[in-house]
Amino acid sequence: MTAATSGIDVRLAMPQALPAVERACRIPGGFLAGGRAIGIKASGRPDLALIVAGGGGPAAAAGVFTPNAFAAAPVRLSRAVLAASDGWVRAIVSTSGSANAATGAAGDADQARIGKLTASALDIQPGDVLHLSTGVIGTRLPLDRVAAGLGDLAVALTATDAGLEAAATALRTTDSTTKVATVSVALPGPDGTPRGVRVTGIAKGVGMIHPRMATMLSVIVTDASASPAVLSRILRPAAARTWNQLSVDGDTSTNDTVLVLASGAAGAAEIQLGSASFASLAAAIEAVARDLARQQASDGEGATCLLTCQVSGAVDDSDARAVARAVVSSSLVKAAAHGKDPNWGRIAGAAGNARLPDAAVLAAAGLAVDVAAARAGTAVDIDPDRLRIAIAGHLVFDGSQGGPQAFDRAAARAAMAGPEILIRLDLGLGNGLGEAFGCDLTEAYVRENSEYTT
Amino acid sequence: MTAATSGIDVRLAMPQALPAVERACRIPGGFLAGGRAIGIKASGRPDLALIVAGGGGPAAAAGVFTPNAFAAAPVRLSRAVLAASDGWVRAIVSTSGSANAATGAAGDADQARIGKLTASALDIQPGDVLHLSTGVIGTRLPLDRVAAGLGDLAVALTATDAGLEAAATALRTTDSTTKVATVSVALPGPDGTPRGVRVTGIAKGVGMIHPRMATMLSVIVTDASASPAVLSRILRPAAARTWNQLSVDGDTSTNDTVLVLASGAAGAAEIQLGSASFASLAAAIEAVARDLARQQASDGEGATCLLTCQVSGAVDDSDARAVARAVVSSSLVKAAAHGKDPNWGRIAGAAGNARLPDAAVLAAAGLAVDVAAARAGTAVDIDPDRLRIAIAGHLVFDGSQGGPQAFDRAAARAAMAGPEILIRLDLGLGNGLGEAFGCDLTEAYVRENSEYTT
């Protein structure tokens, strides 16, 4: 057995079954979009974005939001709009540079005013508008600039790839890249002939120049036709397997938001629960979500590499995801990843601490609660004598074979030097699969978060 | 209202009621102790310690242990010894430099062999011996050196302060200080006249030269007279309020162990549940535990300051402790502490993520489960509109007064520059109190944990 082939072959069904993702921004039919700089950010970078359902009717929408008790004003307003509209909306407005979090009743009033300004500029109703914001906590948004900017931007929206990419760029704070992903699928039309459908995601990750809560915003737009209820059924498990498995520094933001909008403009038949089209669209949305989450992890504050943990052999998928999340969230594992140190003891220790998320947090986040109530919040089933660990393709620990395994440390270190470090664990207990995405912990992270004041 | 007087006056009943602690090592009656270097550590520093009940009879004992699924061989053996002996033991043997964790059946056999060697050297039984170990995960202990060292050390034990301090020094890995704390109390003897009783703690904190899981070992010895059941009733809530509120990097070790031994040598009457003596001894033990936990936090890897969070006004103490723990565990709060940045947004965000520990983990750790079963694992009750936050004496956020408060930022930064940063939160909901101890996150932490390989 050579070191290079001794890794655990973790067969992750879902990711392997997901369609290919193109890291390009291709706007689906039925949407207009744009972004511009209006001076919320001192840097002068783009900080206002609009995505609008341009086909005459509203778009179906679904969302998941931060469970943080300090959920920001835009998060609370978006939740209310989704509930009141039964998931039918016409626009997303996004500001960056100020989170409008912990701003109290004044912040709520500001966000409501932005809803009215957006509605006025687009000739729709405030109840048609979903809200995103990201940036410094505790600062107010400059409403005069937002008002002027919305008026200018509303007349400059385009149904082009460039328009949506401009919106993606305006989501960014200190992201080093604009994050986009597109999947194209064919879904049957009402007459049975296939129609080309696009699923396009844009996102911002976590980065800081002026310290603030790490924030994550993502929007997926598609020209598939689906009801809000169907979109929600697709989004929640997809988010649970992708964004909920993303950790940069363990701090859950006040502003995290994921929205999915479907315009129906591709002319494909409306997707019914349980149909083949449902599975196709779900796979496309999850593929986009997974790719965006990986982009966000790669671009974590101070990060030099993506840290992926894949887990098989758990009692169930929830356990597998909890273990994967514990591993990529461990400061010690993250520091070892930075040092290219195949330090399996830290991985075993982190896995041994894994526990299932508690039901209240899952419910607050609006994620799919596929954790049995009796098990929520409890420790994961794990048996050191059955656990196997592979780092970058090198089997380093096998509990059924006495534990620590001899391996080529120099080769393992070399294999850890690339843009992604893959840690695989097999728990040897069942068929549960899961993965999680993080990044290394670097001195740059500490510098970025300690050298500047809000 | 001046900045200096605008902080929240959090009245933490327990710490204020605790007796004064002397940072000195004063050995209680009835114990012999010593430590020496036997070459487990490459550095040549002391790495073997013995603490022995020297009064002819066994000592009453209680312990709490890591809930990590990868609990080390010494942890598992100590648990078994405590159970089989009904809490009556005669010795503690401690090795440092190798954790004997994730070493499988061979590691268990090694630890059992150390128990036999210790028993042989002291003319007691293996079932009389509790075990501690700390160091690199996945390495075996050098049994030949341990055997020779135990023989030499057994005949060199002394009933002196220096002997116990030598044992404390031999617990250390890369701790920058030997951690000791003593409380003296008077408890009534059988005839009612007061007897001087000592409660002395020794501990190792968290530090790394060669990366390993952060580990925490603590031993408290006292010459009070108490049954194992009474010691356990004292230890569990004390540990829940002190060591369980200690976080350096969020990684729970495979080896964490706290042991309390009572020799009865002071001649005080045996302590009964609910008596005044029970309260006195409990306060003394908690004072020692709290002081050691603060020493451990101050000496965290790479740390330059102690980070203390005190919470009042929670629905209950469990909620208060969970919020305090969430604040001192946040990477962003820890980095802001390093930057002397009064970044209350990060504190609010961390508090908003707080959740109660889950019942399974509490049970596995053997800590007092004072969390109602229905609430275990759920989110803490917190209301942004009632929350107040003070940093180093400066009120920075008051939810009932619109949120963000004007404060003297330069003065706050200056007040954060000392050896301890105190963050106080009042939740405005009830009478729950709690505190937690951590340290700042520094570039030195990242360097120590990424630049060296195991």
ipTM of this complex: 0.70
Q: In this complex, do B378 and A377 lie within 8 Å of one another by their Cβ atoms?
A: yes
Q: In this complex, do B249 and A214 lie within 8 Å of one another by their Cβ atoms?
A: no
Which residues of chain B neighbour A212 with C-beta distances below 8 Å? 345-346
Which residues of chain A neighbour B133 with C-beta distances below 8 Å? none
Residue B414's pLDDT is 95
Residue B445's pLDDT is 80
Q: How far is A199 from chain B (nearest CA, A)?
A: 32
Q: How far is B378 from chain A (nearest CA, A)?
A: 5
Q: In this complex, do A360 and B353 lie within 8 Å of one another by their Cβ atoms?
A: no
> Residue A361: closest CA among chain B residues belongs to which residue?
B379
Q: Is the dihedral of CA B15, B197, B79, A399 positive or negative?
A: positive
Interface probe, candidates A75, A141, A251, chain B, greatest B C-beta count within 10 A: A251
Q: In this complex, do B103 and A254 lie within 8 Å of one another by their Cβ atoms?
A: no
CATH class of the domain at A305-450: alpha beta
To the nearest whole number, what is the mean pLDDT of chain B?
A: 86
Average pLDDT in the B372-401 region? 85
Range of A293-297, B70-74, B154-158, B431-435 with top mean pLDDT: B154-158
CB B365 within 8 A of CB B66: yes
Question: What contacts A182, CB < 8 A, 6 or more positions away?
Answer: A21, A22, A23, A24, A25, A26, A198, A199, A200, A201, A288
Residue B206's pLDDT is 65
In which residue ranges of chain B is CATH 3.60.70.12 found? Answer: 16-298
Say which of B101, B103, B450 has its CB closest to residue A341. B450
> Residue B450: closest CA among chain A residues belongs to which residue?
A339
The structure's pTM equals 0.79
Q: In this complex, do B68 and A353 lie within 8 Å of one another by their Cβ atoms?
A: yes
Which residues of chain B neighbour A332 with C-beta distances below 8 Å? 211, 213-214, 249, 251, 449
B79: left (phi over 0), alpha (psi -120 to 50) or beta: alpha
Which residues of chain A neighbour B349 with C-beta distances below 8 Å? 68, 70, 101, 137, 213, 251-254
Q: How far is B244 from chain A (nearest CA, A)?
A: 14
Q: In this complex, do B403 and A102 lie within 8 Å of one another by their Cβ atoms?
A: yes
Cα distance between residue A151 and residue A140, in whole Å:
20
> Residue B105: closest CA among chain A residues belongs to which residue?
A402
CATH 3.20.20.140 is the classification of domain B304-450: no
Q: In this complex, do A349 and B137 lie within 8 Å of one another by their Cβ atoms?
A: yes
Q: How far is B30 from chain A (nearest CA, A)?
A: 37
> Among candidates B440, B418, B449, B421, which has minimal Cα distance to B248?
B440
pLDDT classification of B30: cutoffs 50, 70, 90: very high
Interface probe, candidates B215, B416, B446, chain A, greatest A C-beta count within 10 A: B446
CB B413 within 8 A of CB B342: yes
CATH class of the domain at A16-298: alpha beta
Q: How far is A324 from chain B (nearest CA, A)?
A: 15
Question: What contacts A337, CB < 8 A, 6 or more positions away?
Answer: A305, A307, A416, A421, A439, A440, A441
In the residue annotation, A454 being an active-site residue is answered as no
In which residue ranges of chain B is CATH 3.10.20.340 found? Answer: 304-450
Q: In this complex, do B211 and A332 lie within 8 Å of one another by their Cβ atoms?
A: yes
Q: Which residues of A210-324 form beta strands (DSSP E)? A: 217-222, 257-262, 306-314
- Tens digit of pLDDT per residue, chain A (454 long)? 333 334 666 544 445 578 899 999 999 999 999 999 999 998 999 999 999 999 788 999 998 887 777 888 999 999 999 999 999 999 999 999 988 988 889 999 999 999 999 999 999 999 999 999 988 888 899 999 999 999 999 999 999 999 999 999 999 887 888 989 999 999 999 998 999 999 999 988 764 333 334 457 889 999 999 999 999 989 888 888 888 888 766 666 677 788 899 999 999 999 999 899 998 999 999 999 889 888 888 888 788 999 999 999 998 888 998 899 889 988 889 999 999 999 998 899 889 888 776 665 555 555 544 566 566 667 788 999 999 999 999 999 999 998 899 999 999 999 999 999 999 999 999 888 899 999 998 888 888 777 754 3
Q: In this complex, do A104 and B350 lie within 8 Å of one another by their Cβ atoms?
A: no
Indicate whether B289 pLDDT > 70: yes
Cα distance between residue A255 and residue A236, in whole Å:
18
Residue A375's pLDDT is 66
Residue A3's pLDDT is 36
* B364-367: Cβ within 8 A, 24+ apart: B364/A379, B364/B67, B365/B64, B365/B65, B365/B66, B365/B67, B365/B244, B366/B63, B366/B64, B366/B65, B366/B236, B367/B64, B367/B236, B367/B239, B367/B240, B367/B244
Per cent of chain B over pLDDT 90 is 56
CA atoms within 13 A on the CB side of B333: 36
Indicate whether B336 pLDDT > 60: yes
> Residue A102: closest CA among chain B residues belongs to which residue?
B403
In which residue ranges of chain A is CATH 3.10.20.340 found? Answer: 305-450
> Residue B347: closest CA among chain A residues belongs to which residue?
A213
